[in-house]
Structure 1
């Protein structure tokens, strides 16, 4: 009887230990706040954390791990997946209830989570409050951009005075990477778009028997507007994204901080060579793209619509005036500089994680294209008003 009772007691103890060691997690409401309670041993377990029941709330989120027996990287990864969207919405997170090591891992992972638009708006409910919060967010973003542009101008001033940390070899390297290596994709895009412009324009002109004006249409359109716009968009996707990824990776690896510690200005060393490189190659690529577009216009006019080769060349030379060339080169230069600024801005503002670098790369392309479209609209209106 004594042995049987001892065996039953041992069995009960093992069942209690199994229940204590089993991983558990649950969300509990606490007023406007939510608490995630963790219990048991999570080391080597494949249990999943439950989803937060309330997605929209005005309170905070806390974690209670008093009953947590052990943990590993799997639990840390699941906690990050649960808390990262909340951190992006600027929800207050209380991680004091976690073990010290787990606190440090999550704090490092959540530190660079950029706030989303919803987080920027915050818990404001009234229309005036929402307008004020959005205005504050808009001004904070634009102030960061203006500060970056000011730093670039100061860096360029130091370079002009011969006091810059920029190396000539870095500038030559960036020119080689952004200029000659962009020629194939610029040629392809300008050829195809020039073909579309020439063919569609000629199809409309043929209805009035005005095939002789194909040269004027293609030359003025490509040289003045299309070539610069295409080069800017190609550079935004190829070069601007590369700038953001390169500088963002250096920030994630703390190389930018190391340059500052060594007394090297990161704007002189990283940003200025890239901006100057696109300032130099921008008008060259624009001129090359315009030449490709005019050449494909010649093929369409001569090969399809029966315009004589010399007639097309003569009409192109007559329509290719100096104002058209200058306007096209100015626009190409402005677009290229905007691409460099957008890429370097997003790279210098990137967080210290792989996801943050990817977000910065995507943002650089979007921002560069938006800036190019806005600049194209403004410059077109300005030049037309100046009758230039």
Structure 2
């Protein structure tokens, strides 16, 4: 690793919580590793870079993030190298650092130097490397995030911020193919809004419609455009792709479409698909087109892509009260091959020829 000029103070925990974890039962988002990386922004610069035992923050009741929503985050994963278990592999972390700063700019927050992101991440994972699981289908989920910290109720951007990275072992996000519902009443975001950024408020806006869909038996939503609700954008936890005959179609992201998150997993999948020699179209995908393809048998596959889910097959699509079953997962050769390739690279089983893997 390049020697970066970043001074990070490390305070280790007195007693690890690692013995309390059953790595054969690690639900997503429930357990957290021993340490976290923290940095504070004040007086116009990032300072007090530190790795400390995982603990609560102390916040004023008037902390501006609680009132005005200046909060952004990222998500990425680390894996145990299956060919060299002593090595930890992180999938495309530099891209997460860049996307964090795109979100920061949109939310009027200070950008975080990439060297701080990368060095903080490296030292944190090196210290907590025993927390990276080696059980089938598991990984170490990594959550970088930033929030405003001014104790001030005036309506303006905060002058101070905290950036942190926490990690935790996790199993698979979806244990089975997902049922999705086309959402035509509520909107996740709109043109000119914050849809392309990983902003906390985007997810808050999705909770009620997702809850209503869950009550109808659906695992997730297929969000549509806010103006007409005619075009599919993304799902709540993932971007989505459809295989119509031998062509993969997926909605475009920024700079073409600013309402859809630019998923790093999605970008990786597109490269893998193109390497397989498949035709890929990034364009607006209408609900009518997908429903017609599902009915006439030309919709061969549909799946989500994202850090948490990796590749998630879609079992059925609900639209206007009608539920359309998709082909059996066992018959879907394209998404199965993509998943095998992606996870093989992430876990060191397939040679990384693209420079996607960061080694610790």
TM-score, scaled relative to structure 2: 0.27
Quick check: which one's helix share is greater?
Answer: 1
| TM-score, scaled to structure 1 | 0.25
Rg larger for:
1
Question: Greater strand share, 1 or 2?
Answer: 2
